[in-house]
Amino acid sequence: MKVGVITLGCDKNTVDSERYLAQLSDYSAEHTADLGDAEVIIVNTCGFIDAAKKESIDAMIEAARFKSEGRCRAVVAVGCMIERHKQELVDAIPEVDLFLGSSEMQKLVPELTERGLLGEPSDELHPGVRLFTGELPHVRYMKISEGCDHGCAFCAIPLMRGKHRSFALDEVVREAQLLELHGARELNLVAQDLAHYGRDVRDGKNLPELLEALIAETSIPWIRMLYLYSAGITDRLLEVVAREARVLPYLDMPIQHGADAVLARMRRPERKRTIRDRVRKFRDAVPDVAIRTTCIVGFPGETEEQFEELLEFLEEMQFERVGAFTYSPQEGTRAAQYADDVHETLKRERLERLTELQRRITADRYEARTGRTALAMVDRVDGERGVSQARLPWQADDIDGVTYIDALLAPGTIAEVAVEEVVDDYDFQASLIRVALPPDAPERRRTHRELPIRQVTIGSYGR
């Protein structure tokens, strides 16, 4: 059986999709990128905001089209949106054959087996917990926990993913080792809040200890942290980031707003003063750190003065990058009870103003990083232009722009480059100095653990 997958939403969903495919491969399933050739199509949905829900519904309907135009025998919708709106979707989209929420994924194999779509369990055990489906095998994402304990008024993630559960440190390290064996050169750690890692287990193994274990037990040259609440970024964590060259000086730290009154309505744990103090502390501890953040505009009750306060705060903080989106009420959240009193047109106008301001800030911050040397991770080669497309340590995959190097280098190469200029505000132009680490050469080999042969089940990893 051939399986096609449509993954929507965040990188955490990408990790989940790869795990689902890995388990299905033990039952003679084969992944195909051609949906027209797939006998089963899995749509891994996102339910974070209204735009994501619409995209998920469109993807389900599009997948169902292949039941008449391709080889598809069943469409399976899974993930966050299904967890919250399953019955509504069952009634609204009968073309989909099976709906499974995030908490029901242990049913995937039995349900497909019952429909006669899976073979017998394979005698040849799958060599890992993930089946890669992306474009860049050297860039991998690894989820270290599930769920969230924060009570942000606008966010439905706890309703979709449940309370925070940390994955066992040994399991996380083992998965990282397997990803390294599969070619990972950059490991992106993801969770709803990385900084909460280990707090529920209370065994003294928190995020700093996990980073140190990954450094000691793998040779992956780049380790990047994505999405940490500032309140959980401790002195100990900053000490590890400052000391370990393989942990990139990069923090993805959502603030959501810059006016205390709005932050209070959002039920955020930070205030302007604490954010300011922590950003200063981060930059003092790790002088070269790049900080990315996220903001919401048009939250209920946001006045023009409060929006201007947000703009002034962004101007003061000078974050390298800001991801911004307009507020939309999510059923079941506290904010859904508030009057959505900022008109959609005004929300879009404010988003455009924030985006334009941040474009200038990013260009200025990036300009300050020119005229120096840095390491770059090569992602792609453009033979026609005679350049390689790469990223510098302060550029995360797919969200922070790219760096063009004046040489043809294999993907996965780490090169030392001279950063020469900023291109189109968000990108860099650089010239090659030397190849620091070829794609087939680990920085060092320090893997001591016995690697597993059989994969873990879908139901593990804190589900």
pLDDT in tens, 369-402: 999 999 999 999 988 889 999 999 999 998 898 9
CA 115 – CA 130 distance, rounded (Å): 24
Higher pLDDT, 343 or 229: 343
- How much is the average pLDDT of 300-324? 96
The answer to whether 64 touches 86, Cβ cutoff 8 Å, is no
The answer to whether 185 touches 222, Cβ cutoff 8 Å, is yes
For position 128, what pLDDT does the model report?
A: 52
For position 223, what pLDDT does the model report?
A: 97
For position 458, what pLDDT does the model report?
A: 37
The answer to whether 217 touches 449, Cβ cutoff 8 Å, is yes
In the chain, the percentage of residues whose pLDDT exceeds 70 is 93
Give this prediction's pTM: 0.83
- How much is the average pLDDT of 443-450? 45
CA 56 – CA 44 distance, rounded (Å): 8
pLDDT at 417 over 80: yes
Helix (H, G, I), strand (E, B) or coil at 233: coil
- Residue (of 174, 99, 84, 118) closest to 2 by Cα position: 118
Torsion angle, alpha carbons of 183, 187, 190, 193, to 10? 160
CA 230 – CA 258 distance, rounded (Å): 14
